[in-house]
Amino acid sequence: MPGLDDPILNSNVAKTWYRRGPSFMPMRNTKTLLSLTLGAVVVGLAPSSAAADDFAAGSLIVPMDTTYQDLGMFEAYGLVYDLLRQGVPVRWVIKVGKGYNEIDFMAMGTDVRTGVAIAAHGYRGGPWVIDAADAAAAMPIIEAWQAKNVNTAVHEATAPFTGDVARLLVVAPTIAMMADGNQKIARKYMMAAKIPDSVGNPMWPDSSPDMLDPLELAGPTIDSHSDGDLFDEDGDPVYCQFMSMHWASTTRRPTPRSSRRCASSCSTRPTCSPSVRRSTRSRTSSRTDFSSRPRAS
């Protein structure tokens, strides 16, 4: 998988996305997509100006390098999502100014599931850290997760360490997909990470309230660019992440954008929820079939 241990690519793409706010984001690589999905609701500093934090012994580390998370990489994102969903803040640690394949920080600890000692290890790939102050709240969630996902590695630090916190994540992002016939691609990524839709369904069926077809996205008028299901009645974004896979259009025309407003709304309304959609809208029992539309080559 390209860039698996190279968060430089991941963080650069992340900075671009954070500046833009919600967008129709193309697939770069799986790890980048899932990192941005989780990072859609954040507080704190951009990677270029991250602040070094001191972490006490007892802090929890979700490694994101292939040394310790090779088989559990997808599920590691699901674990972080579950922690955020249940109110446990998570820090995304990326060393400031790091070069290709450099480590993000050094730490020693024990494997939470097996109890095996972890000698001083150079964590790389943008690992996630749960502060020692939040470890007690996180541990039952982690243990429940590992009971079903044995390949997801989590380490407990046995000595203090320091890391550059690129992002402090405080709430699970709201996620939607475009139901245009290509949603099976996005669905597979979420299913692999075991990140569910807003009603807790990990299968992301076409009937999901977060599976939006082009007509629902466009809205009832051609004059308003915010009357589709991506926005609430005030014109603010409902979702923090929208996934559109390989969308192709046979006709192109200039489209006004209001990315500044979207970026501002997402940064000030981190708890946006699909439940705030217009009450006048309802999901239809049948959808227009968009699977026959031309696809990008």
Tokens of 267: 């940064």
DSSP code for 103: -
| Higher-confidence position of 256 and 195 | 195
Q: Which residues pair with 161 in a beta bridge?
A: 55
Question: What band does 256 get if pLDDT is binned at 50, 70 and 90?
Answer: low
pLDDT of 4 higher than 50: no
Indicate the Cα dihedral angle 185, 188, 70, 128, nearest 10°: 90
Q: Is 51 left (phi over 0), alpha (psi -120 to 50) or beta?
A: beta
Q: Using DSSP bridges, classify how beta strands 42-43 and 161-169 pair: parallel, antiparallel or unpaired.
A: antiparallel
pLDDT of 148 higher than 90: yes
Kind plus residue range of the DSSP H or E element containing 118: strand 117-123
Tokens of 241: 């992440």
| Least confident among 12-16, 53-57, 277-281 | 12-16
Q: Whole-prediction pTM value?
A: 0.73
d(C-alpha 257, C-alpha 216), whole Å: 18
What is the reported pLDDT for 290?
41
What is the reported pLDDT for 7?
39
pLDDT of 82 higher than 60: yes
What is the reported pLDDT for 255?
57
pLDDT digits over 15-39, tens only?
Answer: 323 323 333 333 345 666 676 666 6
| Least confident among 44-48, 121-125, 182-186 | 44-48
Question: What band does 273 get if pLDDT is binned at 50, 70 and 90?
Answer: very low
pLDDT of 130 higher than 50: yes
Instruction: Give the distance from CA 45 to its chain's centroid.
Output: 17
Question: What band does 250 get if pLDDT is binned at 50, 70 and 90?
Answer: low
pLDDT digits over 95-127, tens only?
Answer: 999 999 899 999 999 999 999 999 999 999 999
What is the reported pLDDT for 297?
35
Residue with tokens 């999502």: 81
- Per-chain mean pLDDT for the chain: 78
DSSP code for 36: H
Tokens of 113: 């599931």
All residues at 6 or more sequence positions from 52 whose CB lies less than 8 Å from its CB, including other chains: 162, 163, 164, 165
| Higher-confidence position of 297 and 146 | 146
The amino acid that residue 22 corresponds to is: P
Q: Using DSSP bridges, classify how beta strands 51-55 and 105-111 pair: parallel, antiparallel or unpaired.
A: unpaired
What is the reported pLDDT for 34?
72
Question: What band does 245 get if pLDDT is binned at 50, 70 and 90?
Answer: confident
Helices (H) and strands (E) in the chain, counts: 8, 13
The separation between the first and the last C-alpha atoms of the chain, rounded to the nearest angstrom, is 21
pLDDT digits over 220-240, tens only?
Answer: 998 998 999 999 999 999 999
